[in-house]
Amino acid sequence: MNIILLGPPGAGKGTQAQFLVEERGMVQLSTGDMLREARTSGTEMGKQVAEVMDKGGLVTDEIVIGLIREKLETVDAPGFIFDGFPRTLKQADALGELLAEMGQTLDHVIELRVEDEALVGRIVNRAAEAAAAGKPVRADDNEDSFRTRLAAYYKMTSPLVGYYYAKGQYERVDGMAPMDNVKAQIAAKLDA
């Protein structure tokens, strides 16, 4: 079973993905993690990634799809969670083609719906708690930066909602609910 978790920064995608990894043995494919891993791997793909990243460039969709292909071919898992990919319609098409070519399917696209103001509050509180505990605070964990990230997320990702809705794959859960309730909502969708 392959799924995409959608939702703005701070919605809880990482937390929910971790539950799926622990309880269902799924593998979380986080684009950021895969790029960092590839960069130090010494593989041909890794050398390409390092070269682009060292120049401060953006890694192409082709490279990301190549990394995903590598994972799908080499990692044995009951399913994959796509995290941070796709972000654009072009990437959604590329992922669909890759899965089809490999005889796999995309089974669920689940968006964690949250209220923007509640999210802003979460992020500001997260930064305050980290600072109070003497932990490092992310540079972009402040209200202005977060609102900019939120706007970028909606601008990029909103077309995906329509794209997957039209394919009958889009589902949403109430990301404002308590963590265990969100977990139960996701489980119900996957088990339906």
**Any idea which residues carry the catalytic annotation?**
13, 87, 126, 138, 149
Rounded to whole angstroms, the Cα distance separating 10 from 59 reads: 24
Q: Let me know if 157 is exposed, middle or buried by CB neighbors in 10 A (0-12, 13-18, 19+).
A: middle
Q: Is residue 41 classed exposed, middle or buried when 0-12, 13-18 and 19+ CB atoms within 10 A define those classes?
A: middle
Beta carbons within 8 Å of 178's beta carbon, 6+ residues apart = none
Could you identify the residue written with the tokens 């390092």? 50
Q: Note if the bond before 86 is cis, omega within 30 degrees.
A: yes
